[in-house]
Amino acid sequence: MKKILITGGAGYIGSHTAVALVNSGYEPVIIDNFSNSEKSALAGLSKICGREVKCYEVDCLDRSGVEKVFLENDFSGVIHFAAFKAVGESTRLPLKYYSNNIDSLLILLGTMSKFGVKDIVFSSSCTVYGQPEILPVKESTPRQPAESPYGNTKKICEDILVDYIKSGADSRIVSLRYFNPVGAHPSGEIGELPLGVPNNLVPFITQTAAGLRVKLTVFGDKYNTPDGTCVRDYIHVMDLADAHVKSLEYLFQQKNNFYDLFNVGTGNGNTVLEVIKTFEKVSGQALNYEIGPRREGDIEKVWADTEKINKVLGWDAKYLLEDSMRDSWNWQLKLGKQ
Ligand SMILES: NC(=O)c1ccc[n+]([C@@H]2O[C@H](COP(=O)([O-])OP(=O)(O)OC[C@H]3O[C@@H](n4cnc5c(N)ncnc54)[C@H](O)[C@@H]3O)[C@@H](O)[C@H]2O)c1
């Protein structure tokens, strides 16, 4: 069985990707420092996979710690999720974000080169597009100046990977630009674990419905969108996880010194109010929400052109928004019981 290293594998997207890897016959090995996750995610993972998933409690900034993991395991590929991701915090603590998100990538690439591991899938984000003029947004659409230090780390990491390949490095690299990951594993054993006040819409919805928050504020309803609220492309985390397996298998077929990048979204945009209505429909819960002022830095609308990933990787989003809302709610109910 091919071993795949997942950095940040105890986190939201990483844990679901571990499941997708196991389902496709790979052996995931996790590195995580639990700075934004809990060990209970590993128990959930074991339950779903029917066996333990190996995890090293190592910080990706600890070069010798990372090297030790490579010494003990013969990896066929790496998926690099480990990063900080809170946009607001990144504007207050930029150095924390630049250091963690960029140094972890540099240390990982150096270690991979030392141990002859060529293939890496990198977690990028649609945030690199800013507000595109033409929608849906294609991979060829020029990136815009980042709105936050977090967004800038994604741009810089993409640039590092491109320069690395330009230098003639032996590596094979895919960057995936995620749109808005939502949902949870249908079993309710793993899901998103926002620490503190959630930045993202769906955890805020489920926490409000569960009574953990008094009400949800919708930031603005005068945008140029069908109902005036912002539009995003909500991609179920299980579909997103699957895109990583497809990316790795694509890399395995390439010649050395290779770089490619893909949007990962559904290809459809939904407004905030549509998401709320869908949640209310599938959960049977009436949500306490109000319309508030716009939030600074919010993009009006963005959704993915998925033609490239559909054609090249043979990947397509299978889950519907209803599924995402049902699975997020199921996960929230499970969390409430812990
Ligand atoms: N969730 C989103 O909305 C979204 C959107 C676009 C891109 N991304 C990117 O996808 C990746 C995964 O996101 P997620 O939502 O699963 O986040 P997450 O916070 O749930 O998972 C990240 C994991 O990495 C770990 N980690 C962070 N720094 C580390 C370090 N130095 N060493 C070891 N472990 C470390 C955390 O403890 C956590 O378990 C990130 O790179 C993120 O920027 C996420």
pLDDT in tens, 78-128: 999 999 999 989 999 999 999 999 999 999 999 999 999 999 999 999 999
Mean pLDDT of the chain: 96
H/E stretch holding 325 reads helix 321-337
Q: Work out the percent of the chain whose per-residue pLDDT is above 70.
A: 99
pLDDT level of residue 196 (50, 70, 90 thresholds): confident
Catalytic one of 12, 56, 129, 150: 150
Top-confidence residue, 235 or 338 = 235
- Ligand 1 centroid vs 101 CA: distance in angstroms? 9
Pocket test residue of 35, 45, 124 for ligand 1, highest count of atoms within 8 A of CB: 35
- pLDDT at position 118 is 98
Instruction: Tell whether ligand 1 has an atom less than 6 A from the beta carbon of residue 10.
Output: yes
In the residue annotation, 150 being an active-site residue is answered as: yes
* Residue-wise pLDDT tens digits, 169-185: 999 999 999 999 999 99
Q: What is the per-residue pLDDT for 234?
A: 98
Taking CA atoms, 43 is separated from 9, 10, 27, 53, in Å, by 13, 10, 16, 9
Answer yes or no: is pLDDT of 199 > 90: no
Residue 83 beta carbon below 6 angstroms from any ligand 1 atom: yes
Chain centroid to CA 2 = 23
Torsion of CA 305, 159, 154, 127, to 10 degrees: -30
Give the residue whose CA is nearest to atom 23 of ligand 1. 8
Q: Ligand 1 centroid vs 39 CA: distance in angstroms? A: 15
User: How much distance in Å is there from the Cα of 116 to the middle of ligand 1?
Assistant: 25
Q: Is the CB of 153 under 6 A from ligand 1?
A: no
pLDDT bin (cut points 50, 70, 90) of residue 337 is low
Cα separations (Å) of 34 from 37, 41, 57, 157?
A: 5, 10, 7, 22
Residue 335: band (very low, low, confident or very high) from pLDDT cuts 50, 70, 90: confident
Would you state the pLDDT for residue 252?
A: 98
pLDDT band at 197, cuts 50/70/90?
confident
Instruction: Determine whether the shortest distance from the Cβ of 102 to ligand 1 is under 6 A.
Output: no
3-state DSSP of 174-218? EEEEECEEECCCCCCCCCCCCCCCCCCHHHHHHHHHCCCCCCEEE
How would you classify residue 215: left for phi > 0, otherwise alpha for psi between -120 and 50, otherwise beta? beta
Please write the tens of the pLDDT for every residue from 123-171.
999 999 999 999 999 999 999 999 899 999 999 999 999 999 999 999 9
- Ligand 1 center from residue 83 Cα (angstroms): 5
CA angle 20, 79, 264 (to 5 degrees): 70
Q: What is the pLDDT averaged over residues 199-211?
A: 94
CB of 232 closer than 6 angstroms to any ligand 1 atom:
no
Q: What are phi and psi of 79, to 5 degrees?
A: -120, 120
Q: Please indicate whether residue 6, judged by its CB atom, sits closer than 6 Å to ligand 1.
A: no
Closest ligand 1 atom, residue 100 Cα:
31
pLDDT digit string, tens, across residues 320-333? 999 999 999 999 99
Q: How far, in Å, from the CA of 221 to the mean position of ligand 1?
A: 30
What is the Cα–Cα distance from 236 to 321, expressed in whole angstroms? 8
Q: Give the residue, by CA position, lying nearest to ligand 1 atom 7.
A: 125
Our answer on whether the CB atom of 59 is closer than 6 Å to any ligand 1 atom is yes
CA–CA distance, 248 with 68 (Å, rounded to integer): 23
Is pLDDT at 244 greater than 80 in this prediction?
yes
Kindly state if the Cβ of 61 falls inside 6 Å of ligand 1: yes
Tell me which residue has tokens 């002859």: 116
- Please name the residue whose Cα sits nearest to atom 18 of ligand 1: 11
**Which residue minimizes the CA distance to atom 2 of ligand 1?**
181
- Specify the pLDDT at position 336: 77
Rounded to 5 degrees, what are φ and ψ at 213? -125, 145
Q: Is 106 touching ligand 1 by the criterion CB < 6 Å? A: no
Q: Per the structure block, which two tokens stand in for 218?
A: 């919708």
Residue 156: predicted pLDDT = 98
Could you tell me which residues come within 8 angstroms of residue 64 by beta carbon, excluding any fewer than 6 positions away? Answer: none
Residue 338: which pLDDT band, with cuts at 50, 70 and 90? low
What percentage of residues in the chain have a pLDDT greater than 90?
94
Cis peptide before 136 (omega within 30 of 0): yes
